[in-house]
Structure 1
Amino acid sequence: MDFYYAPRGSGCRTVIMVAKALGLELNKKQLRLSEGEHLRPEFLKLNPQHTIPTLVDNGFAIWESRAIAIYLVEKYGKDDSLYPKDPQKRALINQRLFFDLGTLYDSFRRYYYPFVRTGQFGTADDFKKVEAAFEFLNIFLEGQNHVACSQFTLADIAILSSVSTFDIVEFDISKYINVDRWYAKAKKYTPGWEENWEGLQQLKTAYEDQKAAAILILLSSEQYDTDMDFYYTPLGSGCRIVVMVAKAVGVDLSKKHLDTSKMEHLKPEFLKLNPQHTIPTLVDHGFPFWESRAIAVYLVEKYGKDDSLFPKDPKIRAVINQRLYFDMGTLYVALANYYYKVFATGHFGTAEEFKKVEDSFELLNTFLEGQDYLAGDHLTVADIAILGSVSTFDALEFDFSKYSNVAKWYSNAKKVTPGWEENWEGALELKKVIDAKKNAATN
């Protein structure tokens, strides 16, 4: 099992701790990103996205730390304790993993990463997002010994890696009492903690010396009779993903439209369900959770007539998870950073941000080379999730015809995905809102 990594990267350290917990030996191959080793042709053949960590298990290449972690547990775990098969427990773990990528670690990236380019940290607003992320985590841990469920899971390991990264740059964790309590204990019982901390010491040296290249290494590293309330807006691609998955598994959603422009997501009754106040949020027989991709997987695992949308085979599942994290951390981020600037400024983003959109489509085009679907030989939740994002680009008139593999896949996905029509209606509604914002700014 070859493991391409950098000891300073939090995602790399997550995988090391998971492997340690499973008793696995990794053949570690350290890449020096500052010397462009991740861009060498031999590595690009393994991972066209050229990110670390990347795992190669008997010729099977997979990347995105959280996807790797799940794969290792599902293939090599002696039991399912780190990633239980119970759909509700798994949904909570998935939500925390997406929270780690999209909120907690993202706040680190936004505040500390500008140091690389400018020698200065991010803005006061960026720091508030760090604090907000820890406040959410503090709420998740209220009365709990673990981040998700009543036992030690992958969620604890992934978030431990991120929290320890904040620790090494001297962010004050102590004022978040629940996080501080959990962190003190997690350091003691998590296998591989010592190696995680050793990697952080390397980062600390680089951080204190203000060596931007070292920080770059860190950041270069993812129909039933139901009582199911679904809080959503048709404009949101994540909400539309869940609508399509529900349609595919035959689940009726009791839709509750939240108007975020009127701050309906900040009402006390909604905050009790989801303290992070994000949509989509699903409440299944009193069990609330959020993050669209976590919801999608939960619906398939609990209500799917079979596992075709999220196969049990660890390799296929690992590819699906990688695509889901790519959708959230790369494709959707490019969408939001360029197009959603209009909500604040009345204009789209910069040429550099548009280049990130193009880069994302180039990667997606590579994933689809010689493939009709994003993972395996049939429709999965990976196709549905990325269809939600790509259709949003389409509605906003991004020309992806030059990405021939994407164009071919998209033409087919529209035909075979249940709920496509409702998804497209929501995407067109979003376009109307964005056009109105642009027109208002122009006038």
Structure 2
Amino acid sequence: MADFYYLPGSAPCRSVIMTAKAVGVELNKKLLNLQAGEHLKPEFLKINPQHTIPTLVDNGFALWESRAIQVYLVEKYGKTDSLYPKCPKKRAVINQRLYFDMGTLYQSFANYYYPQLFAKAPADPEAFKKIEAAFEFLNTFLEGQEYAAGDSLTVADIALVASVSTFEVAGFEISKYANVNKWYENAKKVTPGWEENWEGCQEFKKFFNYVFFMFRNIFSSKMVDLYYMPCSPPCHPVFMTAKAVGVKLNKKLVNVWDDEHLKPEFLKLNPQHTIPTLVDNGFALWESRAILVYLVEKYGKTDSLYPKCPKKRALINQRLYFDFGTLFQSFADYYYPQMFGNASADPEKFKKIEAAFEFLNTFLEGQEYAAGDTLTLADIALVASVSKFEVADFEISKYPHVNRWYENSKKVVPGWDENWAGTLEFKKYFK
């Protein structure tokens, strides 16, 4: 019986457990508590000076690195070579998949999640892109394939299923990759030892949920301050964007009616003395649309709300500037003199509102979203503005494309409820 030093939640350990099951080897499992430093004890360092798990000791022969262990178990104990054929071409493809699993797929998991798990670092959207790229590659490998390397189950499938199941419990959307999803669902049925692998995944999930979500929320709530007023229209898209990227805002009320925005301590943060103002670990930023972009680029798990593609980004920017300089500006020019200066309504300025809505109606013709085919920051900023026109009793329904987009946005924009609550606060001042 081979001794096996391991942790149940470790994906590399789980791939060895499944391979041992497949070749009929019983492992004498020896739990190694890394948090207690057991892997650094002299007796373990004599076995494995690299002090990693999994480590196998088979009748005095010590071996580490999970994929090397998998191959060893098949070559030493396999009744057939089906899991790792002797044919050089078949073996070469399996080896490629094993190195891909180690250096690309599982490495992308480690690069994105481990800094958050173990260093309480914020999510890095560039590292998340590497995960997506890895799954795109795997999706390509599996085009028209039932198995990862050839026409039967091999150690490549076993290694990859251990990794992909780890992504599953981390909440990654495997279903976005049709070929991977089909292969994965089949692999759950045909891989020996899948049940024990899944039990280990659940152990990892407990740790993942506790550390990842708890400490990330603590990090966010401590580090990101937002100076705001509930009724302030520019604050509302910031609420929605923060919700979309999973940042908890530490909201600090600034009562502009009492001139709190003119106090010296606030002027040090923002000499322009406007709200919203964001302070993220000492970095101060104002102007709501600039804040929206910053939140996505700093904290977004993906760049979908503000893509890196120059053309897509340019279109979003155009809509943001349109919202700032045309749509919401038309609201301010027409309604604010009546609200704050007791002025009478100016029909020429009302025409500017109508013109702005005509433009927006044109932009949205045949479009579900304001800038492209998915939800972006353009939708979030624009829906915050259009909701203010709604409580001003402007007839949005006269503009069918705007009206359709607006009704859909209420359902799909994260944080809509908080935007609407703030809009109703604004309505009190408006009325």
TM-score, scaled to structure 1: 0.48
- Larger relative contact order (CA 8 Å, sep ≥ 6): 1
Q: Greater CA radius of gyration, 1 or 2?
A: 2
TM-score, scaled to structure 2: 0.50
